[in-house]
A and B are shown apart, each in its own frame.
Chain A
């Protein structure tokens, strides 16, 4: 506990830095005036306007659909990869496999986006699939980097787990796939759920990769928000931000109650 006192100032500064901008947005989302700078009165009109903004709502539902599909694919891929990395010990190609699973975590988005787009174009030329670009190609792209995050979370969870339960089941004659389904999977469930949520959030949030691999008629929420921001700020955007923060905070609180620990990097 030593020396915490002196550290409270930078800690407070850090949290103020993180939360003041969000707090200001929340306050101004209830502002009556169209001006995003001076407070004139309390109103919920921007939330109504947001609800009636069809382009934004349509993009939101598209993004939610893509996020749900890609997070599920990412969870399947990432859980298998995390399991292999945590439980297989050394195997041939392990270094290459681990490196390939870790690289998307830091790869600049412009590289991932451009390279995937070129792959989709080449595949379409060669095999006719994917025909054109849109929700499907965005979901594939998001599943790819989502899988990397899920693998990290699942691997960390499995590493913290005691091996003895799995060994006991094995000693009692359970076949490996039964051990996996009945012991490993349930024990890893909090990690898997956290991984799914992480992949879902990252998909919902991605602008750059989606811009590269999406096609006409499939504008995700960040793409619509990005073009709106370039035209200028509106209190509607603040309302959207406030609702996002509330939704995320509620989900995290629920997750804490259910006994998740924050994922460790």
Chain B
């Protein structure tokens, strides 16, 4: 067996699987986005139909695309999703950077345990962690209960079903995705560089700005992308913690699909969501591939 053939055999299974179950579905989503809704199962009309003369005709329905472009509701949902994802990723960065830096500078023997502690919540149920925040934030929740008991407020604050709740939830759930890549690049940083900066008279914050921060930028970008991209399409957290106004694109897609059973419109929305994310995903992929070369 030639090495070439051997390699092809190893590659064949994963490549074929991913082509069939990951790449091909996008082509179908794209085509259903141009289909007409119809009664029945599945609830859309085929694109290729026999006309009255018996010839095959390609029927492209532009109504979905037109609706998405004309109804400001959808454009606002898209913009809102991008904004929410950007704010959440920034919050994750602000909370996660000092954590990652502390872990990277902790005594060697502690690091694995601290990292495990960051990762552990990620391994437990995502839904149940969101549930914990409902318990914290609801009108008779733990936060309001504590504030009332302390006499700081007289009426419970409205915390659940607000933007604040949604941001807290997303930051909480995605934090490990930020800390891990940050730690990876911070732990590779040579401490001698900081010592050199200190010897040359740089104060600690200057050393941080001039040495640590620039050298950890790859980790910052990786963490930001790992949070930002999935957060743009997030459904569960805005649905359970956000207010009725928190119509993010993932939630709108869910409603069109499950409540209105409008598969073509949901597909068109998926295409829009994908277009919004083409650049960040391409950036993420090129970084992932480059990391693998190292």
CB distance from A77 to the nearest CB of B (A): 5
- A97-B11, A118-B28 known; A155 vs B292 contact (CB < 8 Å): yes
Expressed in whole angstroms, the Cα–Cα distance for A233 and B230 within the complex equals: 26
Select A265's contact among B25, B222, B240, B289, beta carbons within 8 Å. Answer: B222
In the bound complex, do residue A262 and residue B115 qualify as a contact, i.e. CB atoms below 8 Å apart? yes
* Chain B 122-166 interface 0/1 with A at a Cβ cutoff of 8 Å (1 = within): 011111111111111010111001000000000000000000000
Q: Is the CB of A37 within 8 A of B142?
A: yes
Within 8 Å CB of A177, what residues of B?
Answer: 6
- Given A7-B101, A106-B225, A248-B124, is A111 in contact with B273 using a C-beta cutoff of 8 Å? yes
Contact: A256 with B121, CB < 8 Å?
no
Whether the pair A241, B112 counts as a contact (CB closer than 8 A) is no
User: How far apart are A109's CB and chain B's nearest CB, in angstroms?
Assistant: 7
In the bound complex, how far is the Cα of B24 from the Cα of A207, in angstroms? 22
Task: Return chain A residues, CB-CB under 8 Å to B140.
Answer: 35, 37
Q: Which of A5-59 contact B (CB under 8 A)?
A: 7-8, 10-11, 13-15, 17-19, 21-22, 24-25, 28, 35-38
A21: chain B residues within 8 A (beta carbon):
129, 132-133, 135-136, 172
Dominant SS at the B interface? helix
Cross-chain contact B10 with A144 (CB below 8 angstroms): no
Q: Looking at the complex, which one of B112, B181, B266 makes contact with A262 (CB distance below 8 Å)?
A: B112
Of B6, B23, B114, B121, which is in contact with the most chain A CB atoms at under 10 Å from its CB? Answer: B121
Q: Which residues of chain A are near B284, meaning CB under 8 Å?
A: 102, 105-106
Q: Report the minimum CB–CB distance from A253 to chain B (whole Å).
A: 9
Complex Cα gap A229–B117 (Å): 26
What 4 A-B pairs have minimum CB-CB distances, sorted nearest first?
A108-B233, A115-B25, A10-B98, A21-B132
Which residues on A are within 8 Å of B, measured CB to CB?
A: 1-4, 7-8, 10-11, 13-15, 17-19, 21-22, 24-25, 28, 35-38, 76-78, 80-81, 83-86, 88, 91, 94-95, 97-112, 114-116, 118-119, 121-122, 125, 140-141, 143-144, 147, 151, 155, 159, 176-177, 201, 204-205, 207-208, 211-212, 222, 225-226, 229-230, 233, 237-238, 240-241, 244-245, 248-249, 251-252, 256, 261-265
Apart from A25-B132, A144-B21, A241-B125, what are 10 other A-B pairs with CB-CB below 8 Å?
A: A77-B17, A77-B18, A107-B229, A119-B28, A121-B42, A204-B125, A222-B125, A225-B127, A261-B112, A262-B119
A-B contact pairs, 23 of them (CB 8 A): A14-B179, A17-B95, A37-B141, A77-B17, A80-B11, A91-B11, A98-B292, A99-B285, A100-B18, A101-B14, A106-B230, A107-B281, A111-B29, A114-B270, A119-B25, A125-B42, A159-B292, A205-B126, A205-B127, A233-B134, A241-B125, A249-B120, A265-B184
